[in-house]
Amino acid sequence: MPKKLISFLGTQDYKKVTYIWGEETLPPTRFIQEALFRVLARDWGPGDQVVILLTEEAREKNFPALKEALEAAFREAGIQGNLKDVSISADESEEGLWDLYGTLLPLLKEGDHLFFDVTHGFRFLSLFAYGVVEYGRVLKRAQVGGIYYGLLRRGEETHPHPIVDLTPLVRLLDWAHGTRTYLQTGDARPLEESVRSVAREVFTGRKAADRRAVEAQKNLVRDLKNFHENMATCRTLLLPENVASIQMRLKESQDLSLDIFPLLDPLLEEIREEFARVAEDIAAERPLSQIGWGAARWCKDHGLIQQAYTFLVEAIYSKGAEFLGLDPRKKEDRERASQAINAFTGRRGKVSPNRQDHPMAPLGELINQTFSRIVDTRNAINHGNITQQTTSSDNLMRQLEEDLENARRLMAAMEAALPAGKPPSYAPRLLILLSHRLLPQQEADARESLGVTAFTYLPDPLQSLWSQIDPSLEELEEFLQPIGRWLEEEGQPGDYVLIQGEYGATVWAIGKARALGLIPVYATTRREVVTEEGDDGQVVKKAVFRHVRFRLYPNLGASL
């Protein structure tokens, strides 16, 4: 990466002075440019360059002597110097400033490592240098090597003059920009780059305390980045650990203050305040529904609209599982809860009259009023607003704010409806659409794995209908209506339905069950070959099918 030292040459009659860099005393010189080159020459390469910006008056008064001094320094360093002088206007007006930008910016090349000297020249030079640095970093992928100022005290020419490193101010502005970006979007990548830049400097000569402080900042930013990535990819179960780790890292960063950035703590305090709020909802001891709602709120605040609606839908399903006394982390329990909630939204057509006996029935109207819009918006966004439209983009943020409040109200109503804080006692049943009765081991597995307490079989006429579907029928809808009515009359949201039969009838029954808030499952088996010895002494092999488990039918509509 080529280095480029950019400096302004003034018109004053510069006196020979001694500059100091840290604890090093440099040879006396009239020109700060020579002193800085001697500092940078230790890592100077053949493609590196010194660029001097100067007015015509400065060229006439000082450039010949500066050129001679730099060429001598080049020879002393044993390198072939690359010195470029660039004429600029003496106009200090706004128009002159833009002309100066127009002159300097084309000098920046891809990947330059920039060093700025702002000792001499116009009064606005420090701000100007920062503007050039930002331009170079954005458009030329340049890096800031340093911004320096030779502190000349009038009347004290005989005393050593320190070269002040202003680069930490740029780093601080980077931190401020990164913090603002994080607080607005949750994206920690600008902060990550700031820490990387600081680490390059601190781990080359700084004291051990600063190195420990930078390591703490690196750990913090890594955790912030992981948290954003887990939010962006909706990793609900990872969030509480993320938040706890970030709070620990923030405490470490507070304890290990960074001497080179004394103003960093107020920026970190902004992040500390945000995560104090986040931890009110997203913590390991909180219910999964509260964690999901808190994640949705964070996503709303940081512009992740699609993720906010995804978290919000799943938070309500989690609350439904908690309401029914189920485990929201178990796939089967979430399926039961989601089917029960969906049955009250009116999204899937007519539902079983028995739903009025369901524990969620008193909340049915509220579920329909609040959840329908939330889930429809989530689906429309996930499907690219192609077959289903959401509100306009500018209204969506306001709608999301309303939906967050509506979801909070619905979950609070579920909590309030629990008698003495306990979930209602409702155990699911297993409705059976099979051509035969369950085996004893299947009944035992259904009780253990699905939690069912009762089994409901088809009456004989419907059993005959399901077992003997006419293969010559053109369509099955009308033929299977009696089966549909039976499901409506017998099933409650959250009940399981074991469906296995003729292929077309099975597909139809799965859709019908889901429309009623029922959970369709099927039984898996394993084929085993057993040998038996007959009465005549001959060994006979035969296949036996052993029950393995019950499995949920894939919900293809939810994954398309």
What are the pLDDT digits (tens) for 42-69? 888 878 899 998 889 999 999 999 999 9
Q: For residue 309, tell me if it sits in a domain.
A: yes
Tally of CB atoms within 10 A around 27: 12
d(CA 264, CA 274): 16
| 295 inside domain | no
Q: Are 410 and 314 in the same domain?
A: yes
Same domain, 392 and 498: no
Q: Is there a single domain that holds both residue 397 and residue 488?
A: no
Distance (Å, rounded) from C-alpha 89 to C-alpha 97? 9
Assess whether pLDDT exceeds 60 at residue 508: yes
Segment 277-319, tens digit of pLDDT: 999 999 888 899 999 999 999 999 999 999 999 999 999 999 9
Are 279 and 260 found together in one domain?
A: yes
The pair of three-digit structure tokens given for residue 183, joined into one six-digit string:
């607080």
Q: How many CB atoms lie within 10 A of CB 97?
A: 17
Residue 420 has a pLDDT of: 55
Domain contains 413: yes
In this prediction, residue 349 carries a pLDDT of: 38
Picking from 426, 452, 478, the residue at the C-terminal end of a domain is 426
Q: Are residues 348 and 447 in the same domain?
A: no
Provide the mean pLDDT of the chain.
83
Do 136 and 39 share a domain, yes or no? yes
Highest mean pLDDT among 404-418, 423-437, 517-531 belongs to 404-418
**Predicted pLDDT of residue 355:** 61
Give the SS3 label for residue 306: helix
220 and 339 fall within a common domain: no
Residue keyed to tokens 């090093």:
24
Question: What residues have CB less than 8 Å from 516, skipping those under 6 apart?
Answer: 343, 348, 350, 351, 352, 487, 488, 491, 493
- pLDDT confidence of residue 272: 85
How far is 480 from 115, CA to CA, in rounded Å? 80
Do 422 and 441 share a domain, yes or no?
no
**Do 433 and 419 share a domain, yes or no?**
no
pLDDT at 28: 92
Domain span including residue 545 = 429-559
CA gap 241, 172 in Å, rounded: 29
50 is a domain residue: yes
321 and 392, same domain (yes or no):
yes
Q: How far is the CA of 436 from the CAs of 12, 31, 433, 481, 548, in angstroms? A: 105, 100, 9, 21, 17
In angstroms, what is the C-alpha Rg of the chain?
37
Please enumerate in sequence order all residues whose Cβ is within 8 A of that of 532, keeping only pairs 6 or more positions apart, or say none. Answer: 539, 540, 542
Q: Among 177-181, 271-275, 355-359, 419-423, name the one with the lowest average pLDDT.
A: 419-423
Q: How far is residue 46 from each of residues 127, 217, 440, 526, measured CA to CA in Å? A: 30, 36, 85, 74
pLDDT(472) > 70: yes
> How many Å apart are CA 550 and CA 455, to the nearest integer?
14
CATH number of the domain where residue 156 is located = 3.40.50.10640
Domain assignment present for 63: yes
The band of 560, judged by pLDDT with boundaries at 50, 70 and 90, is very low
Bridge partners of residue 520, in order along the sequence: 497
Q: Is 180 within the bounds of a domain?
A: yes
Number of domains making up the chain = 4
Whether the predicted pLDDT of 351 surpasses 50: no
Statement to judge: residues 364 and 468 lie in one domain: no
The domain boundary, picked from 405, 426, 447, lies at 426
Q: Would 298 be classed as within a structural domain?
A: no
- Considering the domain architecture, whether residues 516 and 397 belong to the same structural domain is answered as no
Closest CA to 324 of 343, 307, 310, 308: 343
- How do strand 143-150 and strand 161-165 relate by DSSP bridges? antiparallel
The tokens of 332 are what? 């089967």
Are 374 and 305 in contact, with CB atoms under 8 Å apart?
A: no
pLDDT tens-digit profile of 390-412?
A: 677 778 888 999 999 999 999 99
Residue 523 placed within a domain = yes
Record the pTM.
0.66
Domain boundary among 426, 459, 482: 426
